[in-house]
Amino acid sequence: MRVCRIAHAGGTDYASWDGGEFAVLADPFAGRPRHTGTRIPAAGARLLAPVEPRTVVGMARNTGPEDRALPPRAFLKAARTVVGPGAALRLPDDAGRTVAEGELALVIGRDTSGVRASDLLSCVLGITVANDVTDRDAQGGDPLWTAAKSRHTFTPVGPWIDTDLDPADLSITVDVNGAEASRASTAGLARDPGEILAYLAQLMPLGPGDLVLTGAPGRDVPLTPGDSVSVRIDGLGELGNTVEAGSPRQEAAA
């Protein structure tokens, strides 16, 4: 099932997408996803970020065999950095060299606290596409990576959550202005989702709607205002965003 979050004339709802219209769902984080019977035409709805997480955690040191030899490391991104498909990705005026990183993200479906490591994958509702936008210049001067990772709009996610797709070997492509800029596979990650969750479960609680960005197997891609960037995961979907200058606060002031 492809689980979406949509805005429409009647409000905001979770829904499934079958390629023709949206079928509204009861809260998919409150048990098995269940349809309510309401259907929304595609033309009458807008895709939002598929979740509103309380926690967004990313994996560092998770690309290739060389990272496998290092201890795992995680970082946090502010939950309010999450935006959905089509949203403008804002580069603040003081941003340094800012890049896109195409990643597969795990969407947590239930509380991981007290769950045995061997059972943690059962806590995952599904997977989605993420763009881990990062200010590389700020990253070098901040060991916590807050300034690099948690600016407004720096975590585009979507277009939906796939509850059935196997994440083991999926191609991730980053395009800028319609041209391919990076291609790799989730098979190139140093640690698989089960290992990632086992590590994170020792550090922090995760719960329904939280996001785990699993790491970028491909190279990062520089972004400049005026660009159009998309991250595509084969079999899952494509997440597209425009790149604009100025933070939302600056825009409001203007």
Write down the domain spans for the chain.
2-47, 56-253
Q: Residue 249: its pLDDT value, please? A: 56
pLDDT at residue 48, as a whole number: 98
Of 43, 17, 19, the residue nearest 160 (C-alpha): 17
Higher pLDDT, 17 or 5: 5
Contact at 8 Å (CB) between 234 and 102? Answer: no
User: Is residue 252 very low, low, confident or very high in pLDDT (cuts 50, 70, 90)?
Assistant: very low
Pair of tokens at residue 40: 């929304």
Whether 174 has a pLDDT exceeding 50, the answer reads yes
pLDDT at residue number 64: 83
- The CATH number of the structural domain formed by 2-47 is 2.30.30.370
Q: pLDDT tens digits for 17-74? A: 987 899 999 999 998 889 999 999 999 999 999 999 999 999 999 988 899 999 999 9
Asked if pLDDT for residue 254 goes beyond 90, the answer is no
For residue 201, what pLDDT is reported? 95
Give me the pLDDT at residue 229, please: 98
Q: What is the pTM of this model?
A: 0.95
- Tell me what pLDDT residue 31 has: 86
Question: For the residues 141-146, what does the mean pLDDT come to?
Answer: 92
pLDDT at site 187: 96
Residue 11 confidence (pLDDT) above 90: yes
Buried residues in 7-24 as b, exposed as e (16+ CB within 10 A):
ebeeeebbbbbeeeebbb
Find out if CATH 3.40.50.300 is the number for domain 56-253: no
Compute the distance between CA of residue 5 and CA of residue 87 in angstroms, rounded to an integer: 14
Q: How confident is the model over 241-251, as pLDDT tens digits?
A: 999 998 765 43
Confidence check: pLDDT of 162 > 90? yes
